[in-house]
Every structure is written in C-alpha cells, then in structure tokens.
Amino acid sequence: MLKHLLIVGAGGMLGSMLRYLCSVMIRTSHFPLATLLVNATGSLAIGIIIGLWLKSQVPGDNWRLFLVTGLCGGFTTFSAFSLECVQLLQQQRYLMAALYISLSVVLGLAATFAGIQLTKLV
C-alpha cells in the first residue's frame, strides 16, 4: 500500500507542477483558458494511457497508478474548473459560464474518446 501511495504521489506531484506551469504560461483575464486546455489535454492523455493499457502496451499496474491516478489526476483541475464556474456565475456572466461548462465537458469527453481511438491505430 505504501508503495502505491508513493507511486501515485510522485505522479501527482509531476502533474501538479505541469498544471502550474500551464497556468503561468497561459494567462487570460476574461476566460479560464488554461484550465480548459489542461482539462482537455489531460483527458486526451488519460484516453491514450488507458487505451494503451487496455492493449497491454503499458506495463503493469504501477505505471497505470503513476500515469492515470497520479500524473493525470494531479494535472487535470476539476476543482479549479468548479471554482471558476461558480465565480463566473457569481459575476452574473451566465453566457460565459455556460460556454465554459459546455466546452469543458464536450472537449474533455471528446479528447478522452480520441485518445482511446488513437491507440487503436498503433
């Protein structure tokens, strides 16, 4: 159990650091673009990883824990997404909130599906 916690923690640390770098490099004041892109990219990555894992091209549960639970879990930002949605609603920016929610859900699902489909080509 401790080994698995350390594996997930290492992946989570790396994912969180990457998410922070994205938020620093992609700054906008009117739309939470960094979080949207991180969530879409993380969804694509998790789809690719799971697709490869299902094809047994990613060795073992330890890698799945590191990459899926740790790295992707630390990288994607659902809690930040939720906060930004609430802030947009509190600011009465309803159209922007609806756009952000819709794009996040659609892009996230499409990216995960695309990632799994891409692995079928390999």
Tens of each residue's pLDDT in the chain, 122 residues: 999 999 999 999 999 999 999 999 998 878 999 999 999 999 999 999 888 888 876 667 899 899 999 999 999 988 889 989 999 999 999 999 999 999 999 999 999 999 999 999 88
pLDDT at 57: 67
24-54 b/e with 16+ CB inside 10 Å = b? eeeeeeeebebbbebbbbbbbbbbbbbbbbe
Q: At what angle do helices 94-120 and 78-90 cross, to 10 degrees?
A: 160
Q: Domain of 48?
A: 2-120
Nearest alpha carbon to residue 11 among 70, 73, 72: 70
Which CA distances in Å does 54 have to 1, 46, 119? 23, 12, 9
55 within 8 A of 116, measured Cβ to Cβ: no
The pTM of the full predicted model, rounded to 2 decimals, is 0.81
Question: Cα torsion at 64, 74, 85, 110 (round to 10°)?
Answer: -30
Q: How many domains is the chain partitioned into structurally? A: 1
Residues contacting residue 7 through CB under 8 Å, at least 6 positions apart = 62, 65, 66, 70
